Chain A
Amino acid sequence: KAGVTQTPRYLIKTRGQQVTLSCSPISGHRSVSWYQQTPGQGLQFLFEYFSETQRNKGNFPGRFSGRQFSNSRSEMNVSTLELGDSALYLCASSLARGVSYVTGELFFGEGSRLTVL
C-alpha cells in the first residue's frame, strides 16, 4: 500500500509570492491533517479535513488555507509568503472510524520543505 505522498518535496519562493502544496493520503484514509514543522516550534497544527470539510483549524493567519477534494487528496495554500513561513510542511492521513471524525494514528508524508527568500 502506497504511503502518504506530498509534492513538491522542495521549493524556493520569494517574499510576497504564494505557494500550493499537495498531499495524497493513503488509499482509504479520509482524514488529512497539515502541520508546520520548524526547529524552534516543533509541529504546529494547521488544519484537519474530513469528507471535504475543514474539521479543525490551528492558530495560523488567514494567509494559510486548505481544501480537500472528493478523492480525499488535499492541498494547502500560503499566500503573501513571509520569511517566517520557511518550514517543513507535513501532511498526515488517518482512518476516520464510524460516524465520528475523531481519528487514530497519523501516517505522515515526507513533507514539503519550503524556503522563502
Chain B
Amino acid sequence: GQQVMQIPQYQHVQEGEDFTTYCNSSTTLSNIQWYKQRPGGHPVFLIQLVKSGEVKKQKRLTFQFGEAKKNSSLHITATQTTDVGTYFCAGRQGGKLIFGQGTELSVKP
C-alpha cells in the first residue's frame, strides 16, 4: 500500500547537537510537507517542498527533497530545548496526504 517511512522513531540529543530525520517513499511524491507536534499539541505545518532536489532553510532547520522525489530530510543545527517534539513528514500520493510515523526528538539541556 501507500507508505511513507520515517526514521529514526526516537532521537535523544544533548542541547547544541545536530538532529536529522529521514523520510522515504516507495512511490514518487507530488510534494512533501513537514509538520511539528509539540507534546500534548497538534501538528503544525513547517514547510512544503515541491521541486526535485529542492532545499529550503528556516533559521536552524534545513529541508531537502530528493532528486527522484521519493525521499526527504529535515536537519536541525544546534538543537535547543524548544525543538522538542515529534516531526512528521507527509507525502502526497495520488491525492492523499500520507504521514510518516514521525521522529520524536528529545533535547537534554
Q: Point out residues on A near B: beta carbons under 8 Å.
A: 33, 35, 41-45, 48, 55-56, 58-59, 90, 92, 101-111
Q: Which of A58, A101, A108 contacts B42 (CB 8 A)?
A: A108
User: Does B43 belong to the interface (CB within 8 Å)?
Assistant: yes
Contact present for B43 and A33 (CB under 8 Å): no
User: In the docked arrangement, what's the CA distance between A42 and B102, Å?
Assistant: 7
Tell me the interface secondary structure of chain B in the complex.
Answer: strand
User: In the docked arrangement, what's the CA distance between A59 and B98, Å?
Assistant: 12
What's the A-B contact tally at a CB cutoff of 8 Å?
53
Q: Which of A33, A41, A44, A106 contacts B45 (CB 8 A)?
A: A106
Which stretch in B56-64, B73-81, B89-97 binds the other chain?
B89-97
Contact A111/B97 with A42-B88, A102-B92 known, Cβ cut-off 8 Å:
no
What residues of A have a CB within 8 angstroms of the CB of B35 in the complex?
106
State the Cβ distance, A67 to closest chain B Cβ, in Å: 18
* Total interface residues in chain B, CB < 8 Å: 22
What residues of A have a CB within 8 angstroms of the CB of B88 in the complex?
42-43
User: In the docked arrangement, what's the CA distance between A107 and B78, Å?
Assistant: 28
Q: Return the chain B residue nearest A33 by Cβ.
A: B97
User: In the docked arrangement, what's the CA distance between A92 and B44, Å?
Assistant: 10
